Structure 1
Amino acid sequence: MNAARIPAAANVYCVGRNYRLHAAELGNEVPESPMIFTKPTHALVPWEGEVALPGSFGAVHYEAELVLLLDRPYRPDRPLDEQISHFTIGLDFTLRDVQDKLKAKGHPWLEAKGFKNAAGLGRWMPYPGYAEVAERDFVLKLNGKEAQRGNVKEMVFGFEALAAFVGSRFGFGEGDLLFTGTPAGVGALTSGDRLVLEWDGETVGDAVVVL
Structure 2
Amino acid sequence: MRDIQNIFCIGRNYAQHAKELGNEVPSSPILFTKPTNALALADGQTLSYPNGKGEIHHELEIVLKIGSAKGSTHVDERVVEMALGIDLTLRDMQSELKKKGHPWERAKGFRNSAIVTPFWAFPGVEAIETVLFSLQKNGETLQEGKSTDMLFNFQRVLDECEQAFGLSEGDVIYTGTPEGVGPISDGDVFTLLWDGQEKGSFKVSM
Name the TM tier (shorter chain).
over 0.9
Q: Using the TM superposition, give the Cα deviation of residue 172 of structure 1 relative to its aligned residue in structure 2, in angstroms.
A: 1.0
Residue type of the alignment partner of 1:108: P
Instruction: Report the equivalent of 2:94.
Output: 99
Aligned to 1:184: 179
Q: TM-score, normalised by structure 2?
A: 0.96
Aligned match of 2:54: 58
Cα displacement string for residues 10-60 of structure 1 (whole angstroms, at most 9, x for unaligned residues): 110000000000000000001111000000000011012101122221101
User: Where does 1:26-37 land on structure 2 (aligned, <5 Å)?
Assistant: 26-37=21-32
Counterpart check, 1:168 vs 2:198 = no
User: Number of residues paired by the alignment?
Assistant: 205
1-side partners of 2:136 and 2:24: how far apart? 27
Task: Give 2:198's match in structure 1, choosing from 193, 197, 203.
Answer: 203
CA distance in 2, matches of 1:44, 1:158: 24
- Amino acid across the alignment from 2:87: D
Match runs of 1:1-211 below 5 Å? 5-8=1-4, 10-48=5-43, 49-72=45-68, 75=71, 77-211=72-206
CA separation of 1:74 and 1:140: change in aligned 2, threshold 3 A: farther
Distance 1:192 1:182 in 2: 23
Report the Cα offset of residue 74 of structure 1. Answer: 5.8
CA distance in 1 between counterparts of 2:10 and 2:187 reads 28
Which sections of structure 1, spanning at least 5 residues, go unmatched? none
Unaligned runs of 5+ in 2: none
Across the aligned residues of Structure 1 and Structure 2, the Cα RMSD in angstroms comes to: 1.2
* Letter matched to residue 161 of structure 2: V
How many angstroms apart in 2 are the aligned matches of 1:30 and 1:96?
18
Q: Which runs of 4+ in 1 moved over 6 A?
A: none
**Structure 2: how far apart are the matches of 1:206 and 1:167?**
31
Q: Distance in 2 between matches of 1:146 and 1:23?
A: 20
Q: Are the counterparts in 2 of residues 69 and 86 from structure 1 also a CA contact under 8 Å?
A: yes
TM (normalized to structure 1)?
0.94
Instruction: Tell me by how many angstroms 1:79 deviates.
Output: 2.5
Tell me if structure 2 keeps the 8 A contact 1:74–1:172. Answer: no
